[in-house]
Amino acid sequence: MFEVKGATFEVNGTCLLHPVKHRFEEGKIYGLIGHNGSGKSTLIKLLAQQQPVSQGKILLDERSLSDWGQREFARRVAYLPQHLPSAENLTGRELIGFGRYPWHGLLGRHTPEDTAAVERAIELSHTQDFADRLVDTLSGGERQRVWLAMLLAQESQFLLLDEPLAALDISHQMEVLALIRKLCDELKLCVIIVLHDINMASRYCDELLALHTGRVLAHGSPEEMMTDATLEAIYGLPMQVMPHPNGEHRIAVAC
């Protein structure tokens, strides 16, 4: 598991993330919610070793992150940043193959095990129909599924996803989140995902962690978090929570 023990992050004397204490376990989707600049991306970057903790510590499998080597860490944790690098002139299959770098290195030749892992990732992500097309020619939803397949090829147990739904329309958002939900349940992954849409978070996540001005304001199950008062405190405007028409979860609207 990931265990965050009083971790903070400061830049030039300004504290961007105040002490956070939380445990993230396998088999669950954790949604990081809150307004822009609340500290969501900062927290997920700390978990991904993209920036160092200023104070406190973060443990992975009871070891401090500083004790993990880069490739060893990547075999346990896969990270999808908010701003994706260019995949120009790469097919989906080639991009997915880059997920094998922790196992053989970027310049290494693919072994039969690597090839099998890529094919499993393609099957799990349902990207067979466009895996051999150039990534730049894919739709937003297809492209996002290919990037997710790359993480699956990495065969890591922890997936850190920073706003993976950015610029996707609602149908593609639901497509990607439904796939993440299915993979989490089948593979017992731990998924930590930054989301802006509270209704999507309520529908697909097991737990929500709300940040506000760099502090954890509240955390709990969607049922516990989806109240008028809690959401108003998180987003700073009146909210009304009501049952979804299907009765399976709650939704919120701004008043």
Supply the pLDDT for residue 114.
Answer: 93
Supply the pLDDT for residue 106.
Answer: 62
The reply to whether 84 falls in a domain is yes
DSSP result, the chain: -EEEEEEEEEETTEEEEEEEEEEE-TTEEEEEE-STTSSHHHHHHHHTTSS--SEEEEEETTEEGGGS-HHHHHTTEEEE-SSPPP-TT-BHHHHHHGGGHHHH-TTSPPPHHHHHHHHHHHHHHT-GGGTTSBGGGS-HHHHHHHHHHHHHHTT-SEEEEESTTTT--HHHHHHHHHHHHHHHHHHT-EEEEE-S-HHHHHHH-SEEEEEETTEEEEEE-HHHH-SHHHHHHHHSS-EEEEE-TTSSSEEEEE-
**CATH number, residue 111:** 3.40.50.300
Number of C-beta neighbours around residue 196 at 10 A: 14
Backbone angles phi, psi at 68, to 5 degrees: -95, 135
The reply to whether 230 falls in a domain is no
What residue numbers bound the domain in which 157 lies? Answer: 2-220
The reply to whether 238 falls in a domain is no
pLDDT band per the 50, 70, 90 thresholds, residue 110: confident
Burial of 210 (0-12, 13-18, 19+ CB in 10 A): buried
How many distinct structural domains can be found in the chain? 1
Paired tokens of 59: 């443990």
Scored b (16 or more CB within 10 A) or e, 49-58 reads beeebeebeb
The reply to whether 143 falls in a domain is yes
Paired tokens of 6: 């009083």
Scored b (16 or more CB within 10 A) or e, 77-111 reads bbbbbeeeeebeebbbbbbbbebbbbbeeeeeeee
Paired tokens of 128: 């067979």
pLDDT band per the 50, 70, 90 thresholds, residue 105: low
The bridge status of strand 28-33 relative to strand 190-194 is: parallel
Tens of pLDDT, residue by residue over 140-180, are 889 999 999 999 999 999 999 999 988 788 888 898 899 99
The reply to whether 190 falls in a domain is yes
The reply to whether 192 falls in a domain is yes
The reply to whether 247 falls in a domain is no
Q: What is the mean pLDDT of residues 226-254?
A: 90
The reply to whether 243 falls in a domain is no
Tens of pLDDT, residue by residue over 202-222, are 999 999 999 999 999 999 999
